[in-house]
Each structure stands twice: as C-alpha cells, then as structure tokens.
C-alpha cells in the first residue's frame, strides 16, 4: 500500500484521499497549517490516521520555530497543538496524539530548542510506526473471530488508508486472508462522503481481496438473504460503557445485524477508547457542510436549491448492539472495557 502519511525530506507527505480512487496524488506540507487544512478537508481521514498526522504536524510546526527564547518556543508549540486539535472533534485519537506530543515536550524541559525539535520528530515517527504494529496485533486477534468462507460487511473505511498502515477493521480482514481464509467483504458505499466506495473497495481491490460494493440501503436485504456472516467496523471514539462513535450509518448496520442475529464487531486500537467519556451521549459529533449531501462527491446538485440539510459525520452505536471490541490486546465484550482499559 502507498503510505497514508509519512515524513519525507523534512516535510509531511499526505496521500490525498479526496482524489481516490481516480488519481493518486500527494499533498507535501512544508508548514503545519497545511497539515491542519489537510485534516479538515478530509485529504487524510480515519481516526488513527488523523492522530498520526496530527503528531507529524506538531513536529513539523515545532520545527518551524526559529527563535532562541524557550518561553516563546513553548507558546508557539502550544499554539501549534491547539490548531491541530481544532481540526475535527470526534476521533479521540487526535487528542490522544496531541497529549502524547505535549508530554514529550514537557519531558524535555531544559533541553536546547534544536534538541526538543529533533525529539518531537522522533516521537511523531514512533507514533506512526507503533500504529502499524498495533494494527497487525489487532488484526491477529480479530481474525480469530472470522471463519473460512465468511462474508464480512463493513461500513466506511477502516483500512490502511484510515491508519498509518494495514488498517483496523480491514486489518482483521487482511489477517484472516493471510491465514488462508477465503472471505469476501461487502463494502457499504457510505454516503455522503463515499469512503466505502472510493477507499475500501479500492484498497481491497489493490490487495486482491474479494470485495462487493453495495449502497448503504442494500445491507438489510443482503442480511435477510443470509449473505452476511459478520460485520466488522472501525471506531472514532469508544466510551467507557462500550458505546461506539463511528461513521454515520454504523448504527443502522448494528441494528440490522442484531435483528438478523449476525455478530457485530468493532475493531479499534486502545487509543480509540476514551475512559474519560462515560457514555456515547458525551461524544461530540461533527456536523459537516450541506454540500456533502446535496452533491455526490462534488458532482451536480441533486437536491432543490436552498433545502435544509442535516449532515452529522458520525453516529453512536449503543454497546448492547456490539458483540465484541477487537483491540491489540484481544477481543473484549463492550461491557468489560473498564476492567481492561480503565
Ligand atoms: O470522516 P472519516 O472518514 O474520518 O470517518 C472515518 C470513520 O468513521 C472510520 O470508520 C473510523 O475513523 C475508524 S478508522 C480505522
């Protein structure tokens, strides 16, 4: 897979996911504000990828400081962190990464500015590499729940593109495929931004893993015909009680799965579990621009001029619909999160 995000020649290089699958192009960020813009405009998206990119953006921003005054450097650093943290509200991995970079900064008090800048670059790179390693571990645990011949329904893109590599939900798919299980993924197209059609279908096709694209409203009929054996989705934030925020439409899939007796799994790293948010009610849900709904991926307008639009980017699936949470530490019941991650 092409890296989602990486350090390259002192810059942050981001694969522009808004151009996929038609065009493979990159955004080379020389300044941290370009990273802020790339996250805001979904050039890079997916909870773990947002966290990793924010860490790289903070390191890039810290490196832009040219003065010699430690106090001025500290206020510059805080401003860079705040800008990155302001990009999107729902994925907790973003705030997790910002906190981690702040802790690195705090741990370097007294170090010359150039030393702190180098340390922040190393820390961001470590977060990136750790994400790939965690996804492999998560995939290995999650794949134990997948049987040979399973049809797996997924929603949105929780793949290599949504992480620094390998993916969470699609990491489970990849691990099952690498185990020699002959599986098939049904990818919901995921209106309005079409992450399923544009990204999940693309990356699975690249890897030669069987994938069938459906529109979101086909999932129920497919389940009724017995053609879905389990669902695996990613997460943007998991509350302490096991409620899960993920791409809008995930809740509908979970309810349908329950109605058809189909296991519904959430695959996410521990950094997505937010023990400070007690229930799904406390998860902030991003609302995005109406144009995402009144047009299909920037195409012609499909709705009457001036129509009111509601466009939440995420919804919350209550824990009672979730069979298990697949993490790098194992697969847990949503009810047991506090015991293992508290
Ligand atoms: O708006 P997006 O594309 O950032 O939303 C992404 C999702 O909802 C993913 O399912 C989630 O971040 C998990 S990615 C491993």
pTM above 0.85, yes or no: yes
> What are the DSSP calls for 140-162, one per residue?
HHHHTTPPTT-EEEE-S--SGGG
Cα 155 to ligand 1 centre (Å): 9
Per-residue pLDDT of the chain (342 residues; tens, 9 = 90+): 799 999 999 999 999 999 999 999 999 999 999 999 999 999 999 999 999 999 999 999 999 999 999 999 999 999 999 999 999 999 999 999 999 999 999 999 999 999 999 999 999 999 999 999 999 999 999 999 999 999 999 999 999 999 999 999 999 999 999 999 999 999 999 999 999 999 999 999 999 999 999 999 999 999 999 999 999 999 999 999 999 999 999 999 999 999 999 999 999 999 999 999 999 999 999 999 999 999 999 999 999 999 999 999 999 999 999 999 999 999 999 999 999 998
CB 87 within 8 A of CB 36: yes
- pLDDT, position 1: 79
Q: What does R_g of the chain's alpha carbons equal in angstroms?
A: 20
Comparing C-alpha atoms, which of 81, 113, 83, 86 is closest to residue 99? 81
Query: Torsions phi, psi of 190, nearest 5?
Result: 70, 70
Residues annotated as part of the active site: 236
Q: Report CA(15)–ligand 1 centroid distance (Å).
A: 16
If one residue of 14, 47, 232 were mutated to test the ligand 1 pocket, choosing by the most ligand atoms within 8 A of its CB, it would be: 47
* Class of residue 94 by CB neighbours under 10 A (exposed 0-12, middle 13-18, buried 19+): buried
Rounded Cα gap, residues 280 and 28, in angstroms: 36
Q: What is the CB < 6 Å shell around ligand 1? A: 45-48, 91, 156, 158, 162-163, 168, 195, 234-236, 246-247, 313
* Residue closest by Cα to atom 15 of ligand 1: 158
Q: For the chain, which domains are there? A: 5-136 (1.20.120.420), 142-341 (3.40.50.10470)
Q: How far away, in angstroms, is 215 Cα from ligand 1 center?
A: 18
Residues belonging to the chain: 342
Tokens of 184: 């098939």
């Amino acid at each position: 897979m092409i890296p989602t995000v990486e350090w390259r020649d002192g810059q942050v290089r981001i694969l522009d996911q808004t151009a996929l699958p038609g065009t493979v192009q990159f955004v080379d960020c020389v300044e941290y504000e370009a990273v802020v813009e790339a996250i805001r405009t979904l050039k890079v998206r997916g909870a773990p990828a947002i966290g990793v990119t924010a860490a790289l953006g903070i390191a890039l921003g810290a490196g832009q400081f040219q003065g010699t005054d430690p106090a001025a450097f500290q206020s510059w650093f805080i401003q860079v962190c705040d800008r990155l943290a302001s990009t999107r509200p729902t994925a907790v991995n973003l705030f997790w990464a910002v906190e981690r970079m702040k802790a690195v900064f705090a741990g370097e008090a007294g170090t010359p500015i150039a030393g702190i800048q180098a340390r922040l670059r190393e820390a961001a790179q470590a977060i990136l590499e750790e994400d790939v390693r965690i996804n492999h571990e998560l995939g290995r645990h999650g794949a134990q729940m997948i049987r040979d011949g399973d049809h797996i329904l997924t929603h949105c893109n929780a793949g290599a593109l949504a992480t620094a590599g390998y993916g969470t939900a699609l990491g489970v798919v990849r691990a099952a495929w690498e185990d020699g299980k002959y599986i098939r993924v049904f990818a919901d197209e995921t209106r309005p931004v079409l992450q399923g059609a544009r990204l999940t279908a693309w990356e699975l096709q690249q890897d030669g893993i069987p994938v069938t694209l459906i529109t979101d409203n086909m999932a129920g009929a497919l389940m009724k015909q017995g053609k879905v054996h389990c669902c695996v989705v990613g997460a943007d934030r998991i509350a302490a009680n096991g409620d899960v925020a993920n791409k809008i439409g995930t809740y509908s899939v979970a309810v349908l799965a329950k109605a058809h007796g189909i296991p519904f799994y959430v695959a996410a790293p521990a950094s997505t579990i937010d023990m400070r948010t007690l229930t799904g009610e406390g998860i902030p849900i991003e609302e995005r621009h109406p144009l995402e709904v009144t047009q299909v991926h920037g195409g012609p307008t499909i709705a009457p001029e001036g129509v009111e639009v509601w466009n939440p980017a995420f919804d919350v699936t209550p824990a009672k619909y979730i069979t298990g949470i697949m993490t790098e530490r194992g697969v847990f019941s949503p009810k047991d999160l506090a015991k293992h991650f508290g």
